[in-house]
Amino acid sequence: MGDYREMWKNLNMDLEKHDILCEALPESFGDIYLTQKNRPDAMNYFNYTLAEIHGARIEEIKHEKDNGKKVVGTFCVFVPDEVIYATDAISVGLCSGSQFWIEDGEKVLPRNLCPLVKAFVGAKTSRTCPYFQSCDMIVGETTCDGKKKAYEIVEEYMPVHVMELPQMKREKNFVEWQDEIKIFIKRMEELTGNKVTVENLKKGIDLSNRKRRALKRLYDLRKNIPSPISGLDALLVSQVAFMDDPERFIENTNKLCDELEKRVNDLKASGKKRIMITGTPMAIPNWKLHSIVEGLDAEVVVEETCTGTRYFENEVPDEGDTIDDLVKNMAERYMNINCACFTPNEGRMDDIVKYAEEYDIDGVIYYNLSFCHTYAIEYKKVEKALKEKNIPLLNIDTDYSEEDTGQIKTRVEAFMEMI
């Protein structure tokens, strides 16, 4: 990575603390990623993006900001990027996947809280995340109590807009979500000074759909036996999707898929167990479970998570002549994401069973970030649905620390022997 200290200083970052964070990332990336054998050449783009995640990409965002663009940070796949793109703003997923930020998060939050929430608060209060520091506004949502209340703390540091996500899927809830999207449109117009029109909203829909299509293409390729790409590499692509320039991301993901398509015919059966991971999101640099599983002669071939299928499944139709029509299309697509924050959430069981068949899964690992109650409680439903189909399931409840890595490895090993 080049020398970006001046830029970080101008972003009001805590440079000394940030140095510590920057030291840890290349080492763990090298150990986990660069030791993999036979990686696709097109992964070089994603390696580079990761290496420059606090450097070149932030510099690029700074240039765009200097030219008048606004930057909006998000934490959830319910926040409609289409609107952000329509107002010519930049959307960045504020990853919150690092143990590094937990200590600072715990200074202002209770310890017994989801690590994702503690990490995003810690990232802001410690001034060590250049994405957070670049944001003109962050967009929260009322998906869980932890996030909902944590936005009140972050609001002391920067402008926050919270979208109220309905937690049931009745007809009236679809209408409520349309209203929330309209309120968000207004807020984005105020922030950027750009009016949302049918034309630019259709462009935003098109860009978001093309991004979804590229990711879907990648995931479809993973259905091959063996998969032409490791779960670790596919996870990195999904994680980068949240921070990268969308057009460049689409181009490079499609290039990767072109290469993988050629690979498919040459790959010989590996006999590796095919694993699905389902549950809570895995933001950069959370590669813990994938690296354990793939270190054990198994391959992760699909993630039913928000850094997986929930991010890209289903497109937003662009039919319609009015903003209202397009908002309705968006609301329909987003309300059909099956997050455990909904009650009931039977659609998620259907998705998991469907993916188990489509990806020819040998076993499922339920990944639960500690203290995420909605996903923890939903485990029983998933267990029942998979039992009916005779699909083995392992429950892993963990955080971002490395303390339980040995223990998880032992449990995953026993699971692999059993399936």
| Interface residues toward ligand BJ8, by CB under 6 A | 76-78, 114, 116-117, 143-144, 146-147, 280-281, 306, 310, 337, 339, 341, 369, 372, 374-375
- By beta-carbon proximity to ligand BJ8, the closer residue of 331 and 372 is 372
Residues 19 and 1: beta-carbon distance below 8 Å = no
Q: How far is the CB of 145 from ligand BJ8 (least distance, A)?
A: 8
Cα end-to-end span (Å), the chain: 43
CA distance 146 to 153: 11
Q: How far is the CB of 330 from ligand BJ8 (least distance, A)?
A: 15
User: Is 255 exposed, middle or buried, given 0-12, 13-18 or 19+ CB atoms closer than 10 A?
Assistant: middle
Identity at 380, one-letter amino acid code: K
Closest CA to 236 of 61, 25, 43, 93: 43
CA distance 84 to 137: 11
Q: How far is the CB of 279 from ligand BJ8 (least distance, A)?
A: 8
Q: How far is the CB of 289 from ligand BJ8 (least distance, A)?
A: 14
Strand residue runs (E) in 137-226 = 137-141, 160-163
CA torsion 164-236-57-163 (nearest 10°) is: 0
Closest CA to 97 of 252, 251, 285: 285
Q: How far is the CB of 129 from ligand BJ8 (least distance, A)?
A: 17
- By beta-carbon proximity to ligand BJ8, the closer residue of 196 and 349 is 349
Q: How far is the CB of 381 from ligand BJ8 (least distance, A)?
A: 15
Q: How far is the CB of 281 from ligand BJ8 (least distance, A)?
A: 5
Closest CA to 239 of 285, 291, 295: 285
Residues 74 and 139: beta-carbon distance below 8 Å = yes
**C-alpha angle 353/362/403, rounded to 5°?**
100
CA distance 410 to 41: 33
Residues 352 and 386: beta-carbon distance below 8 Å = yes
Neighbours of 409 (CB within 10 A): 15
CA 101 to chain centre: 18
- By beta-carbon proximity to ligand BJ8, the closer residue of 147 and 328 is 147
Q: How far is the CB of 121 from ligand BJ8 (least distance, A)?
A: 11
- By beta-carbon proximity to ligand BJ8, the closer residue of 161 and 310 is 310
- By beta-carbon proximity to ligand BJ8, the closer residue of 117 and 391 is 117
- By beta-carbon proximity to ligand BJ8, the closer residue of 74 and 192 is 74
Q: How far is the CB of 369 from ligand BJ8 (least distance, A)?
A: 4
- By beta-carbon proximity to ligand BJ8, the closer residue of 299 and 313 is 313
Q: How far is the CB of 155 from ligand BJ8 (least distance, A)?
A: 17
- By beta-carbon proximity to ligand BJ8, the closer residue of 13 and 352 is 352
- By beta-carbon proximity to ligand BJ8, the closer residue of 294 and 303 is 303
Cβ-Cβ contacts under 8 Å for 243 (sequence gap 6 or more): 49, 53, 57, 92, 93, 95, 131, 284
- By beta-carbon proximity to ligand BJ8, the closer residue of 306 and 349 is 306
